[in-house]
Structure 1
Amino acid sequence: MEVATGALGTLIPKLGQLLQDEYNLQKGVKKDIEFLSRELESMRAALRSVGEVPREELKEQIRIWARDVRELSYDMEDIVDTFLVRVQGAEAPSKRSTKRFMKKMMDIVTKATTRHEIGQEIKDIKERVKEVAERRDRYKVDAITPTKTLVDPRITALYTKATDLVGIDEAREELITRLTKGDDMSAQQQRVVSIVGFGGLGKTTLAKAVYDQLRVQFDCTAFVSVSQNPDLNKLLKNMLYELDKEKYANIHSTKLEEKHLIDLVREFLQNKSIIITTTRILDVAEKIGGCYKLKPLTHESSKKLFYGRIFGSEGKCPGQYFEVSEKILKKCGGVPLAIITTSSLLANKSGNIKEWNDVCGSIGSGLASNPSMDSMRKILLLSYYDLPSHLKACLLYLSIFPEDYEIHIILLILRWIAEDFIQQEEENQSLFEHGESYFNELLNRSLIQVAGTQADGTISTCRVHDMVLELICSLSKEESFVSTVLGDIRQSTPSSGSTVRRLSLQNTTWWPKMEIMSKLRSVTIFGPAIINTMPSLSCCHLLRVLDLEGCNLKEHPSLRFVGNLFHLRYLSLAWTGYAGELPMEIGKLRFLQTLLLYGTEIEELPSSIVGLRQLLCLFVGASTSLPNGLRYLASLEMLAIVRMDSACIAEELGHLTQLRILGVDLTSDKKEGGWDENMRTALLGSLGKLHKLQSLAVHSHYVEANLEAGSVESLGNLTNLEIDRTTSLPTWIRTAWLLSCLDITVVQVRREDIQVLGRLQALRYLYLTVRPDSTQVLGRFVVSPDAFPCTTRCSFYGFSMVPSTFPPGAMPRLEKLEFCIQLEEFARGEATTDDLALGHLPSLQDVRVGLYGIRKVSVKVETKVEEKLRHEADVHPNHPSFYFL
């Protein structure tokens, strides 16, 4: 589903599902459904065309028509989903024959009534669809085509004076060096730089600055701006004309096919050109070559640009404006266009501090209404309208989150799935894997930013730049996509009579009236205060997402109302401190896909949980026990943390063959001996069946777990492994050929372990620790020159390790190294300072060393070792940073 077409993307397949014989609908109802399917397909095509045209360029009646179609699609999907729930039932049949018979009879009566009701509702919807279709024909919606941009909003960057440029000197010189170093300019081969970054970052300005400085060295040059919907024929003619105005003086009046024009350009540029391109899409930059990721301005450059445009310099700014200026600069986030736009707006308000505070407060809600922000909006809209339709809804959905909020990527994708934004395109990929590709595409287009990474370098959280958030919030408000309540102010809640479908409550005590919440699909609460006044949500039968993460539910008496939310797909009670029981009625939620219970005091899950056959993700705390019957949750892809209460639980994990992420806790009850041989055998046997497992975390805080096994052959897809307490490195790790990150604490390191790890070709991050209470005495390790070919970070704790362990050729990509030295080895002559060979590691950037030993015995040795290490860091070609732990 995408925002331009409402729920049509998921509704049309559901209508086809209703035509199946198992639903036993009357013949007349089936004909009505067939009519609706055809008509809605036509409307979907028309809506897609509408979605490609900037909203500002659409006539008001067409915008109203598009809104009505979207609302109609939501209403119809609600009807179909409700029918499917009532016909298919939410409860499993009773085992007792009398109750089973009575339930069967009740089902017959209920389902007959339900079929009659949906037949009537389909007829009502049919009349609405006819009326909307007539208006489509009347407004000639099908004839809409995307308009070509007549004036590119980036054009002003081409005429910026060199004296007005701020903060680009370093980037400009770096690009010039890339393009000109080496061969003589007249004989050099083609060189390319592709500048990438999101709208407003100054890509065009930087490219023009480089172009202006280099153009005097060339006989011919051309600078061409490509609009969102370019006339390619005209574009190529403009390029040829700029390259040779005499030869192509009449090119614009000559009729030539695009292929011929392309051939002329290629011929002209072959083997003698320098090319600079700009793009918002990382993939495009990488395919062009010479990718250069443009960074935001530094804070100092931001201040220079900001204060210079308003007061002439920072020194001329009155003191009372400094505090609000810092807040404004933070919101601008180093984006030149944002700073220029905002400072231009403030230049005429330099005598009124109140107006400055008003402007600061409006950033985040004012792009749509402030004419001074028009150029900023237009440039950012280029990125939005350039998105494929399936990504527009995913981007607008981010307007649910507050400013500067770190969004967990896994949870974001699960929410997209719950909202039906992600469609199954390839059978060999799960919905979550499709969602990951959606996220990566938005990241590549520079519309979201990385906020945090995991130990293996993968992205864990993201955030939205304030200016992008401002844009999507304004678009979301226009589309009635998300309704936000911020503090005690209704920011974008639709007016009375409109429908609230997605509600974001941010640090507020105010709730919309229940009469406009009857069709609510999503509720997300940020801040604990709202719970005290939360109305009963049991009447919100259409709710798909209920996110109470971080709310204080410690004293909340019961969550039984959740059992009435039959459409629920996503439920988060994470970090709520809820101490009650999870109601047995949770088993009625047959559509539930995500259940988040970590950060609660729930002791055990009800047995009905095993009836949730569509569950993709189940996250609980280590103190929560799971019931028997886990094997029935066959759709699970993410499961953590499983408390190993019995061998039965361990064995049942082997039936969850779709698992990609798994976390287990071996000793959560803190009882010595709780981890026994039966559990070990059952767990390792289960791991051998999980062929799709990518991430595994094993926690055993109170006993050393022996994780050796005769054969675990399924780990070919494992990329991330964390074991926090085990006797030794499990031998089955050598089969994990895709392992990228290993974080393991052992009682003993064997000499061959380092060799085994060195042969893991994909290993990038290694954290190897020996238990501090270990009395192990280690000999010198020896690895081959080709060991650890991809490793970029290594940490060795609890045992002595020196860089010369890795001969020249080993660890060629290592950038960060943390290791320990036992000074007694040097005092006894078992090691010398010649062993501290940092020069063996050519990519080294950062070194951290822990020195251990009896100080009064080894103080001289310690000084000598420190001096030697500092000297090696100083003479290393990379001059790595150096710290003693």
Structure 2
Amino acid sequence: MELATGALSNLLPVLHSLLREEYNLQKSTKKNLQFLERELESMDIVLRKVGNVPLDQLDEELRIWARDIRELSYDIEDVVDTFLVRVKGRHPHYLQGSEGLVKRMVTLFKKGSTRREISKEVKDIKDRIKEVANRRERYNVAIANPATTMIDDRLRALYTKTTDLVGINKATDDLIMRLTNGDDIPRIQQKVVSICGFGGLGKTTLAKAVYDKLKKQFECAAFVSVSRSPDLKKVFKDILCELDKGRHISIHNSLWDEKQLIDQIREFLQSKRYFIVIDDIWDIHAWKIIRYALDESNIGSCILTTTRKNDVAEQIGGSYRLQPLNHENSKILFYRGIYSTEDKCLGKIIEVSQKILKKRGGVPLAIITVSSLLANKLDNITEWYRIYDSIGSGLENGNEMDGMRKILSLSYYDLPSHLKTCLLDLSTFPEDCEIRRERIIWRWMAEGFLHGKDSNSLFELGESYFVELVNRSMILPVDVDEQGQARACRRKIRRLSLQENIRANMNMGQLRSFTIFSSAVNSMPSISRFHVVRVLDLEGCDLRGCGHLNLRYIANLIHLRYLGLRHTFVVGLPENIGRLQFLQTLDLTRTLIDEAPSGIVQLRQLMCLSVNYNTRLPNGLRNMTSLEVLETVRIDEHSINIVEDLGHLCQLRVVHIDFNLQRWEGLRESMCKALMESLNNLQKIQSLEVTDFNGEDNHMNEGWVLPPRLRRFVMWTASSLSPWINPALLPLLSYLDIEVHKIGGNDIQILGKLPSLRHLWLGVSGHIQELPMEEWFMVSADAFPCARVCKFFNFVTVPSIFSRGAMPKVEHLEFCIRSRHFFADGGDLDLNDLDMGHLPSLERVVVHLHSERADSKEEVMEVEKGLRHAVCVHPNSPSIDVRHH
């Protein structure tokens, strides 16, 4: 599991670029570089193949050989990096980017002393590669294809007694409801449902329980497994045998091809109402071929599938996400495996058993495996704690643990090599640790795990890797927003490899990535020992009492790409931080740094700079032309140069601006115009926040055009919904959070035309605003086609303003009303205006009910009663929260 391609993926593009250039190296050195490139390409391919073979199937000599290649690749990268740093140090003001680096290397290589030094380094590396290559031939090290093994745990899932099942009653009932529409009347349309979840969660067990309950209601039924590398002819033969054992008892001896088998199944199923379960589908291609065999005549047939991959489940249709067991059911399953009953637990092991259950995370396979290990150790509390400490470390032993590893590792070995590397990086973090998506992706970039055609797409590439790991159920998405994007994740796969002795790995001089957590911060070694570290992640560690961690040494970490100091409470950074010419990410959020050092403007490769809203940035930001993320820029009376500098950062995708000029009215107009001009230059912006703007004037209303790639926009506070909110020019805008001083009668209709809008927060500053009846909002039936959340704050509106057909997907609706509008003489509204039945997807409603002293308590309660009646009669019975003001 620990085998990866090392630094080879990073090295090959650099070597290739060097060899494309014409420069005055010694002929022997150029030949040696060509030799290195050829050998490393071959070794990269071999290591990828090695990574596809489970560890228990790898020859020991091959494992050692692959380890040596990986370590050699790191040494080569260190040599190349050292020369790159020397080049950047001599020419800091020009030739940015990877092509510029290569040209600067060429310039340096032309110098005689450097050529001789490089030639010696290259020759030494060549000799080491030759030795490793010869060793493979000498010992006949060969890579065997992964063996196909039958995993007994799937059989256990198929033949578990119904009385032994725990915690699946609700899921079973839910699936039966989906397949049968909740009654015994056969439905005409064929139903397809796909159970989705990670390995060991109980998908097969659940599918078998549903199958056993429903199969008698159908003319014929079959339950077959597909597996990761399916033999589709065997799958089709299994289906035929299950459908009619008497007729197809010898089918596995037949020589029929796939087409003949598909035709045979279709002929058998024609005009029959069937129920077929296809278990353990790994890719959509296999499903599509199987689907050809399943007759689609509309006579009420049902198909149930299971898969580990979210995207496969979505494409199959009817995705059903299986959840881990809750704590109570986990206890029942755990204690039943130890005592044969769930209501018995010796007092002395209660505490450790609770800890074990927490580590098992509600995964039935993991719970059953551990309970079987502990069943014969009731009197040995020390052994219980030993097993608790070993969980997740890869140090657990025994046949039961081996079986669990095989189940869980299947998902890992199905990953492409680049995702294996990214997933292994997440094993750095403790179980249950919530890891921000941005933190993960910037770390991957710093480690060299992301390889795109151009650097501008690397973060997006990292996002696609993150999404793919979620889709494959390898990580658990956390805090999923209305756009379906997880802001964070937790890792789900355990560390399945054996860890080496930790002390043997403590050579800080070769350390490339260092992450520490708050519980261990006092044992952190001196930063001065990290000679080639690329990732230094101290996020979440309070460093105020750690005098041994002298941050002035950070500027000596010349290989550093990622420096994470978020939530560390550090008070400053060294002025010479500009020496970190490779640095890509600098996260200073939630520190105590009031003023960033002027040296940061020398960080020309920096792509992400995050600071507190009150941290003052130095002049000269225009030099940081690689920046893609800049949060937060404080604009005050000293910031005219910074505002102008912004316009030169044309690679920016994300920028947050805190406009702190309330006390400097004389500067507002000139600063607003300068900011507008700068923002108009930033055409790659995808996320823009401008807070504390307090724009009662119209300085930015004219001439500002929002960038066409904008996806997220936050503005507090604008004078009005200005002309720059133009739906035709904002096709990708999906998140809008805006506060205005005054809202107009047509504003909601305009926002409703934004084609991709999924989240809207629209508010009015100050006191609640009311419009005359003639200016009352009316929203057309085609408005808000994609919106999931709509919140209207501090101005009066009611559900009836949305025509039937508008907001078809809105799940969360928030709005404000006044009680007197319903009862005062000449009141504009009646209780029917609160009806929400025309909003079909509602799940949650929040209403701000404003009243005055003159309003009677009975009238206010009548309005609230009308609101509660509106949700009560809604088909979804959404929740409602009425807040009185």
1:287 corresponds to: 315
For residue 636 of structure 1, give the secondary structure of its aligned residue in structure 2: coil
Separation in structure 2 between the aligned mates of residue 862 and residue 274 of structure 1, nearest angstrom: 51
2:642 corresponds to: 649
State how 1:499-578 maps to structure 2 within 5 Å: 500=505, 512=506, 516-527=507-518, 530=521, 534-554=524-544, 559-578=551-570
1:681 matched to 2:706? The reply is no
Contact 1:634 1:655 (8 Å CA) reproduced: yes
Alignment CA distance shift 1:288-1:148 (3 Å) = same
1:34 matched to 2:34? The reply is yes
Alignment CA distance shift 1:366-1:4 (3 Å) = closer
- Deviations along 1:41-93, one digit per CA (max 9) or x if unpaired, are 22222222211111001121111111111111111111122122224435537
Contact 1:367 1:377 (8 Å CA) reproduced: no
1:785 corresponds to: 781
- Deviations along 1:324-381, one digit per CA (max 9) or x if unpaired, are 3333322222211122112222222333444334333332225553544222211100
Contact 1:149 1:228 (8 Å CA) reproduced: no
1:599 corresponds to: 590
Percent identical pairs in the alignment equals 54
2:14 corresponds to: 14
For residue 809 of structure 2, give the secondary structure of its aligned residue in structure 1: coil
1:785 Cα deviation from its structure 2 partner:
2.8
- Deviations along 1:588-632, one digit per CA (max 9) or x if unpaired, are 222211111222333433444333232211111222233333333
Alignment CA distance shift 1:784-1:523 (3 Å) = same
Separation in structure 1 between the aligned mates of residue 783 and residue 402 of structure 2, nearest angstrom: 56
Contact 1:7 1:70 (8 Å CA) reproduced: yes
Alignment CA distance shift 1:194-1:355 (3 Å) = same
- Deviations along 1:191-249, one digit per CA (max 9) or x if unpaired, are 32221100001111111222223333445443222333344444443343333445544
Contact 1:90 1:589 (8 Å CA) reproduced: no
For residue 766 of structure 1, give the secondary structure of its aligned residue in structure 2: strand
Task: Name the aligned partner's letter for residue 813 of structure 2.
Answer: L
Alignment CA distance shift 1:229-1:14 (3 Å) = same
Separation in structure 2 between the aligned mates of residue 456 and residue 216 of structure 1, nearest angstrom: 42
1:622 corresponds to: 613
Separation in structure 1 between the aligned mates of residue 839 and residue 345 of structure 2, nearest angstrom: 50
2:359 corresponds to: 331
Contact 1:204 1:278 (8 Å CA) reproduced: yes
1:98 corresponds to: none
Contact 1:784 1:807 (8 Å CA) reproduced: yes
State how 1:432-443 maps to structure 2 within 5 Å: 432-443=459-470
1:306 matched to 2:334? The reply is yes
1:833 matched to 2:831? The reply is yes
- Deviations along 1:166-190, one digit per CA (max 9) or x if unpaired, are 2222222332333344999999565
Task: Name the aligned partner's letter for residue 405 of structure 1.
Answer: C
Task: Name the aligned partner's letter for residue 430 of structure 1.
Answer: S
1:130 Cα deviation from its structure 2 partner:
1.4
- Deviations along 1:382-429, one digit per CA (max 9) or x if unpaired, are 1111111111110010111122211010111000000011111x5596
- Deviations along 1:292-315, one digit per CA (max 9) or x if unpaired, are 211222333323322333334443
1:52 corresponds to: 52
Alignment CA distance shift 1:274-1:730 (3 Å) = same
Separation in structure 2 between the aligned mates of residue 234 and residue 738 of structure 1, nearest angstrom: 47
Separation in structure 2 between the aligned mates of residue 558 and residue 848 of structure 1, nearest angstrom: 51
- Deviations along 1:633-679, one digit per CA (max 9) or x if unpaired, are 22222111112243442233233222221101110x76342751122
- Deviations along 1:702-747, one digit per CA (max 9) or x if unpaired, are 7757564324444332221112323222331223232222222222
Contact 2:693 2:715 (8 Å CA) reproduced: no
1:813 matched to 2:813? The reply is no
Task: Name the aligned partner's letter for residue 370 of structure 2.
Answer: T
Separation in structure 1 between the aligned mates of residue 261 and residue 327 of structure 2, nearest angstrom: 45
Alignment CA distance shift 1:33-1:142 (3 Å) = farther
1:317 corresponds to: 345
After alignment, is 368-377 or 35-44 more displaced? 368-377
1:5 Cα deviation from its structure 2 partner:
1.8
Alignment CA distance shift 1:826-1:276 (3 Å) = closer
Task: Name the aligned partner's letter for residue 567 of structure 2.
Answer: W
2:278 corresponds to: none
Separation in structure 1 between the aligned mates of residue 7 and residue 525 of structure 2, nearest angstrom: 27
Alignment CA distance shift 1:705-1:449 (3 Å) = farther
Separation in structure 2 between the aligned mates of residue 398 and residue 352 of structure 1, nearest angstrom: 34
Task: Name the aligned partner's letter for residue 358 of structure 2.
Answer: K
Separation in structure 2 between the aligned mates of residue 196 and residue 246 of structure 1, nearest angstrom: 33
1:227 corresponds to: 227
Which residue, out of 741, 749, 758, partners 1:747?
741
1:850 matched to 2:848? The reply is yes
Task: Name the aligned partner's letter for residue 296 of structure 2.
Answer: N
Task: Name the aligned partner's letter for residue 178 of structure 2.
Answer: R
Separation in structure 2 between the aligned mates of residue 90 and residue 527 of structure 1, nearest angstrom: 39
Separation in structure 2 between the aligned mates of residue 181 and residue 124 of structure 1, nearest angstrom: 71
1:346 matched to 2:374? The reply is yes
Alignment CA distance shift 1:702-1:319 (3 Å) = farther
Separation in structure 1 between the aligned mates of residue 866 and residue 109 of structure 2, nearest angstrom: 87
What TM-score do the two structures reach when normalised by structure 1?
A: 0.87
1:610 matched to 2:573? The reply is no
Separation in structure 2 between the aligned mates of residue 770 and residue 280 of structure 1, nearest angstrom: 46
1:458 corresponds to: 485
- Deviations along 1:102-131, one digit per CA (max 9) or x if unpaired, are xx9xx9799543332232122222222112
1:503 corresponds to: none
- Deviations along 1:462-500, one digit per CA (max 9) or x if unpaired, are 1113xx2343xx36x36xxxxxxxxxxxxx6252xxxx4
For residue 790 of structure 2, give the secondary structure of its aligned residue in structure 1: strand
Contact 1:707 1:726 (8 Å CA) reproduced: no
For residue 877 of structure 1, give the secondary structure of its aligned residue in structure 2: coil
Aligned residues: 834
Separation in structure 2 between the aligned mates of residue 632 and residue 91 of structure 1, nearest angstrom: 14
Separation in structure 2 between the aligned mates of residue 50 and residue 703 of structure 1, nearest angstrom: 61
- Deviations along 1:429-451, one digit per CA (max 9) or x if unpaired, are 60001101111110001111112
2:752 corresponds to: 758
2:790 corresponds to: 794
Contact 1:572 1:597 (8 Å CA) reproduced: yes
Separation in structure 2 between the aligned mates of residue 93 and residue 187 of structure 1, nearest angstrom: 72
What TM-score do the two structures reach when normalised by structure 2?
A: 0.87
Separation in structure 2 between the aligned mates of residue 775 and residue 11 of structure 1, nearest angstrom: 62
For residue 509 of structure 2, give the secondary structure of its aligned residue in structure 1: coil
CA-atom RMSD, angstroms?
3.1
Alignment CA distance shift 1:610-1:111 (3 Å) = farther
